């Protein structure tokens, strides 16, 4: 932390039940090296206890604190205030796009979680790019149910940034397709390719890489979707020649 003090205006999206959404401004004294989530928590603690938002770990692991910050998807617990505004400036905080808003900054991600479970189960494979500690002999193997969370922390930022998800709620979306790519790479389970070859799978993607641009983790969902497409095409060609079911 620095010893600087900035005065910053947080402009926060408020939405309760059927009331029309609106913005509410809060002026805060902050250390610019604090994180956006610190500012949101301070608003809750000292200005308005009715503010609803999601968070848990404060260290980019649980995936709960994704929000739009000045219009861009951010994991707010690792986004320094200094990186999104300047002294005397504004920080606009809104809920993620493409999810139903429960209240204020909190969104309902249950459809997304269900899709992830359906994609990963029953194999339950992790979306990750590096070895897990138990594979290096450092720890006992964890409960496989938790491995799904490795690398992809299921924050929803990619879905919020996806232009296809805006118009097509049925679209599986970048995180689920990335999970399918990882699952197929590890298991070779042909049913995954079958499922993602459908109208709401890999062919809906516009290949703009908006999801990869906002992903705060090590997933690169757009690259995985392109790779999954190659695998789907390979399966189609094999079927054409009677080499696959
Ligand atoms: S690359 Fe595909 S999945 Fe990613 S944001 Fe663009 S359309 Fe959505
Ligand atoms: S792919 Fe990246 S942005 Fe999308 S849910 Fe996983 S960690 Fe979040
Ligand atoms: S609070 Fe857990 S990822 Fe931000």
- pLDDT above 80: residue 99: yes
The CATH number of the domain where 79 resides is what? 3.10.20.30
Q: What is the pLDDT of residues 210-231, one digit of tens each?
A: 999 999 998 999 999 999 999 9
Nearest atom of ligand 3 to the alpha carbon of 77: 4
- The reply to whether 28 and 78 lie within a common domain is yes
Nearest Cα residue to atom 3 of ligand 1:
174
Q: What is the pLDDT of residue 89?
A: 98
Q: What is the pLDDT of residue 141?
A: 58
Asked if 90 and 77 count as a contact pair (C-beta separation under 8 A), the reply is: no
- pLDDT above 60: residue 107: yes
CA distance 72 to 96: 9
- The reply to whether 124 and 101 lie within a common domain is no
Q: What is the pLDDT of residue 121?
A: 62
Residue 155 alpha carbon to ligand 1 centre in Å: 16
- The reply to whether 175 and 81 lie within a common domain is no
Which of 64, 112, 155 for a ligand 2 pocket mutation test, highest count of atoms within 8 Å of Cβ?
A: 155
Indicate the number of domains in the chain: 2
- pLDDT above 60: residue 128: no
Beta strand 66-69 with 72-75 is: antiparallel
The answer to whether residue 1 sits within a structural domain is no
Q: Would you list the DSSP string of 181-245?
A: HHHHHHH--HHHHHHHTSTTTGGG-----HHHHH--SS--HHHHHHHHHHHHHHHHHHHHTTS--
Range of the domain at 81: 6-107
- pLDDT above 90: residue 31: yes
Q: What is the pLDDT of residues 151-194, one digit of tens each?
A: 899 999 999 999 999 999 999 999 999 988 988 887 788 888 88
Distance of CA 112 to the CA centre of its chain: 10
- pLDDT above 60: residue 145: no
Cis peptide before 122 (omega within 30 of 0): yes
Q: What is the mean pLDDT of residues 82-98?
A: 98
The answer to whether residue 101 sits within a structural domain is yes
Beta bridge partners of 147: none
Asked if 126 and 185 count as a contact pair (C-beta separation under 8 A), the reply is: no
Which of 154, 172, 179, 209 for a ligand 2 pocket mutation test, highest count of atoms within 8 Å of Cβ?
A: 154
User: Final residue of a domain: which of 51, 83, 107?
Assistant: 107
Q: What is the mean pLDDT of residues 89-118?
A: 95
SS3 113: helix
Residue 1 alpha carbon to ligand 1 centre in Å: 36
Between 139 and 169, the higher pLDDT residue: 169
As a whole number, the mean pLDDT across the chain is: 89
User: Final residue of a domain: which of 43, 78, 107?
Assistant: 107
Residue 130 alpha carbon to ligand 2 centre in Å: 16
Residue 211 alpha carbon to ligand 3 centre in Å: 18
Residues with CB under 6 A from ligand 1: 161-164, 174, 205-211, 221-222, 225
Asked if 63 and 153 count as a contact pair (C-beta separation under 8 A), the reply is: yes
User: Final residue of a domain: which of 62, 90, 107?
Assistant: 107
Nearest Cα residue to atom 8 of ligand 1:
162
Residue whose tokens read 């999801």: 211
Provide the percentage of residues in the chain whose pLDDT is more than 90. Answer: 69
Q: What is the pLDDT of residue 245?
A: 67
Q: What is the pLDDT of residue 2?
A: 72
């Amino acid at each position: 932390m620095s010893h600087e003090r900035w005065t910053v205006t947080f402009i926060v999206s408020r939405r309760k039940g059927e009331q029309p959404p609106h913005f509410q401004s809060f002026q805060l004294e902050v250390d610019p090296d604090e994180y956006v989530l610190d500012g949101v928590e301070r608003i809750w603690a000292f200005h308005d206890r009715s503010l609803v938002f999601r968070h848990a770990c404060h260290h980019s692991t649980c995936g709960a604190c994704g929000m739009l910050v000045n219009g861009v998807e951010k994991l707010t617990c690792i986004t320094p205030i200094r990186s999104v505004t300047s002294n005397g400036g504004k920080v606009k905080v809104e809920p993620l796009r493409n999810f139903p808003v429960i209240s204020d900054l909190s969104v309902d991600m249950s459809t997304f979680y269900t899709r992830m479970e359906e994609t990963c189960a029953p194999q339950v494979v992790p979306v990750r790019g590096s070895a897990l500690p138990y594979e290096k002999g450092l720890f006992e193997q964890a409960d496989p149910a938790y491995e799904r969370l490795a690398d992809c922390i299921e924050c929803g930022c990619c879905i919020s940034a996806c232009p296809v998800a805006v118009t097509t709620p049925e679209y599986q979306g970048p995180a689920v397709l990335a999970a399918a790519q990882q699952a197929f790479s590890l298991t070779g389970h042909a049913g995954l390719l079958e499922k993602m070859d459908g109208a709401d799978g890999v062919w809906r993607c516009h290949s703009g890489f908006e999801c990869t641009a906002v992903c705060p983790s090590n997933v690169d969902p757009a690259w995985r979707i392109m790779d999954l497409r190659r695998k789907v095409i390979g399966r189609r060609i094999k079927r054409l020649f009677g080499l696959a079911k």
